[in-house]
C-alpha cells in the first residue's frame, strides 16, 4: 500500500528538519552563527488507474487519479539576518555590522613541514586572540580554530612584537602602539552566501585556489556600508522562541504522519482478515 511509503517519506524529512532545529538550538550561543531554515518539497506525483472514457465527460480535472508519493526535505536555507551585538570590551573582539565576512587562513603541511596548501575560510566570528606564530615569525590574530585573520589584500596580519593599546576603527583600520603603519582588516562581500560550503567550526569555505588572493573572486564589503565594531561580538541569530515553535510544529507533523502510518497499517490488517474465520 503506497500510503505507508508516502507517510514514511514525510517522517524521514521531518526527522531531518528536527536535526536542523536541534543544531540551531545547540548553537544558540555560538558567536556569529547563522541559523538554517528547513524547507520541504513535494515528491513526484503519479497519475494512475485511468478510468473508462465515459467518466471523462463528468470530470473537471485531467484523466486518471493522482497519487502523490509524499514529501522530503528539499533544502535548508541559510538565514543571514544580523545577530544582536554583545559588548565584551575585549580589544581584539570585532563585530561586523552589515553583510560581510572575515577571511581567515590556515596552512596545511605535509610530513616534512612544508606548506602544501592553504585553507581559506570565511567567518562572522570576530573573537580573535593575539599570539605568537612560528611560521609567520611574529604575532598574529587568530580564531579559536587556529585560522589567522587576513588584511584587505588577503595576506596574514603579522606584528613583529606584541602590540598594545589596540584600536580598530569602523572602516577596518587596525592601529596600535609600536606599530609602524596601520593595517586594514579585510571584510569581504559574498554575493551568494547560500552557495558557500559550511565546513563546521563556524567557518565557510571561501573556495579560493592556493595562493589566489580573495580579490580575484570577492569584493571588499566596506563599499556596501559595512562597518566594524571593536570590543563587541555578534551573537548567533537563533531565536529561542522561533526554534521552539518550529519544534512544536515539526513534532505535530511527525505525530500526524505516524498516525497516518497507523491507520494504513490497520487497513492492511483489515484486508488481511478478509478470510480469517
Residues of this chain that bind other proteins (CB under 8 A)? 1-3, 6-7, 9-10, 14, 17, 37, 39-47, 49, 51, 54-55, 58-62, 65-71, 74-75, 77, 79-81, 99, 191-192, 194-195, 224-225, 249-250, 252-253, 256-257, 259-260, 263-264, 266-267, 270-271, 273-275, 277
Nearer to other proteins, 120 or 264 (CB): 264
User: Helix 2-26 to helix 240-272 angle, to the nearest 10 degrees?
Assistant: 160
- Rounded to a whole number of angstroms, the minimum distance from the CB of residue 150 to other proteins is 22
- Rounded to a whole number of angstroms, the minimum distance from the CB of residue 92 to other proteins is 29
What is the CB neighbour count within 10 angstroms for residue 63? 11
Nearer to other proteins, 181 or 274 (CB): 274
Nearer to other proteins, 45 or 144 (CB): 45
Instruction: Provide the CB-side half-sphere exposure for 218 (13 A, CA).
Output: 31
Map grid coordinates 606599530 to a residue.
Answer: 179
- Distance between CA atoms of residues 42 and 76, nearest Å: 15
CA distances from 184 to 154, 156, 166, 173 (A): 10, 11, 13, 4
CA distances from 256 to 8, 44, 104, 234, 260 (A): 11, 21, 46, 38, 6
- Rounded to a whole number of angstroms, the minimum distance from the CB of residue 213 to other proteins is 19
Nearer to other proteins, 58 or 113 (CB): 58
- Rounded to a whole number of angstroms, the minimum distance from the CB of residue 96 to other proteins is 14
Nearer to other proteins, 24 or 156 (CB): 24
Dihedral sign from CA coordinates of 62, 66, 69, 75:
positive
- Rounded to a whole number of angstroms, the minimum distance from the CB of residue 101 to other proteins is 13
- Rounded to a whole number of angstroms, the minimum distance from the CB of residue 164 to other proteins is 34
State CA 192 to chain mean position distance. 12
- Distance between CA atoms of residues 190 and 196, nearest Å: 9
Nearer to other proteins, 55 or 117 (CB): 55
Amino acid at each position: 500500500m503506497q500510503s505507508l511509503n508516502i507517510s514514511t517519506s514525510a517522517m524521514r524529512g521531518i526527522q531531518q528538519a528536527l536535526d536542523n532545529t536541534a543544531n540551531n538550538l545547540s548553537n544558540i550561543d555560538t558567536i556569529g552563527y547563522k541559523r538554517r531554515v528547513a524547507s520541504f518539497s513535494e515528491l513526484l506525483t503519479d497519475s494512475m488507474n485511468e478510468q473508462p472514457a465515459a467518466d471523462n465527460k463528468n470530470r473537471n480535472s485531467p484523466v486518471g487519479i493522482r497519487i502523490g508519493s509524499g514529501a522530503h526535505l528539499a533544502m535548508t536555507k541559510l538565514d543571514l539576518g544580523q545577530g544582536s551585538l554583545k559588548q565584551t570590551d575585549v580589544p581584539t573582539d570585532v563585530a561586523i555590522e552589515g553583510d560581510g565576512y572575515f577571511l581567515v587562513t590556515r596552512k596545511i603541511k605535509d610530513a616534512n613541514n612544508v606548506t602544501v596548501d592553504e585553507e581559506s575560510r570565511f567567518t562572522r566570528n570576530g573573537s580573535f586572540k593575539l599570539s605568537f606564530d612560528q611560521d609567520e615569525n611574529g604575532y598574529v590574530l587568530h580564531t579559536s580554530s587556529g585560522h589567522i585573520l587576513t588584511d584587505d589584500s588577503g595576506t596574514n596580519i603579522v606584528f613583529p612584537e606584541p602590540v598594545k593599546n589596540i584600536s580598530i576603527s569602523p572602516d577596518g583600520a587596525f592601529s596600535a602602539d609600536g606599530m609602524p603603519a596601520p593595517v586594514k582588516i579585510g571584510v569581504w562581500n559574498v554575493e551568494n552566501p547560500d552557495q558557500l560550503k559550511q565546513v563546521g567550526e563556524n567557518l565557510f569555505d571561501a573556495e579560493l585556489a592556493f595562493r589566489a588572493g580573495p580579490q580575484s573572486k570577492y569584493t571588499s564589503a566596506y563599499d556596501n556600508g559595512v562597518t566594524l565594531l571593536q570590543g563587541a561580538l555578534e551573537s548567533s541569530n537563533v531565536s529561542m522562541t522561533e526554534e521552539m515553535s518550529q519544534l512544536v510544529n515539526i513534532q505535530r507533523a511527525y505525530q500526524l504522519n505516524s498516525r497516518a502510518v497507523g491507520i494504513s497499517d490497520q487497513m492492511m490488517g483489515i484486508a488481511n482478515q478478509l478470510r480469517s474465520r
